[in-house]
A and B are shown apart, each in its own frame.
Chain A
Amino acid sequence: MNCKICSKLLQEYLENSISEELISELNTHLKECRRCRIFFRTYSLTVTLSQRIETPCCVSSEKIKELTSLLHERLFPK
């Protein structure tokens, strides 16, 4: 395992799509290589921070009512 392969595997690692064997090779490299370790941690944390971005929730119930009645009119006219 070298640094180049290590950084390529990172994304697949986060997708849980690499083998146990590769994971242990990756871990061995991360223990030895400070640059990759930092890269790995900050890359993963970037993903985590994006996952925590919030939406100022949600569609208002008035909007849903308005939409539903519009849909009734157009799709299921009496």
Chain B
Amino acid sequence: MSKQSEKLSDAALVTEIKHGDAEAMEEIVRRFSNKVYNLAFHLTRDASAAEEIMQEVFLTVLSKIHTLTNEAYFATWLYRVTTNASYGFLRKEKKFTEQTLIDDTNSEHSAVYDWSTLPDDVLLSEESSEVLRTAIDTLPDTMRTVVIMKDVEGLKNEDIAQTLGLTVPAVKSRLHRGRLVLREILSDYFRKYSDPSGDNV
């Protein structure tokens, strides 16, 4: 495999694919397949669905590559098709949660229990990780997608905004509200480890 394509930017690879370069296409698959798979996996929580979605996304996007006028938007286009395909799967499986109203009026400052001082084996336990994953699942769809893209997958606010057709402030506000909900759920869960004698600070 040529070292050439490995050095090219995403946008340059897209241009090469448009010109019929099969190596560039293979490099794009190498570069993005796990990213697309991870995003689909976290959205659907289903490994085999995530593989199918990954395949479908590349087939769709690469067969329509000529319609992409700005090559720099390739990644966010890929992510948008991925989120839509994941929503489609969830809808089919009836796991698509309608936007539920989240009451975050008292979540800003409700708990004063400081669970951040708990030992790592509690904080990083398999159980606490499952609590968090389940909590993420219960968020309304856009909020959940934003939290997964930003905190779980580490994408930039600008790319998330571009992918979801939101403004950056709208992304940030959903992210913040999502984090507040997750923090509340984690606070409730970790409370069982609090010192019954009271002050844990």
Contacts and interface: CB of A to CB of B under 8 A. Distances in A.
Interface of A: 3, 7, 11, 15, 34-39, 41-47, 49-53, 55-60, 63-64, 66-68, 70-72, 74-76
B186 A46 contact: yes
A30 to B, nearest CB: 13
B55 A66 contact: yes
A42 B147 contact: no
B58 interface: yes
A40 B103 CA distance: 20
A75 B115 CA distance: 54
12 contacts: A38-B116, A38-B201, A43-B183, A46-B186, A49-B124, A51-B152, A53-B152, A58-B37, A63-B51, A67-B29, A72-B22, A75-B22
A50 B115 contact: no
Given A50-B132, A55-B42, A59-B51, A42 B116 contact: yes
Interface residues of B, number: 51
For the residues of A in contact with B, the DSSP-based class is helix
Contacts of B22: 72, 75-76
Nearest to A41: B116
B59 A71 contact: yes
A34 B117 CA distance: 14
A58 B34 contact: yes
B8 to A, nearest CB: 18
Given A43-B183, A45-B123, A55 B41 contact: yes
B162 interface: no
A42 B187 contact: yes
Nearest to B30: A64
Contact of B33 (A67, A70, A74): A67
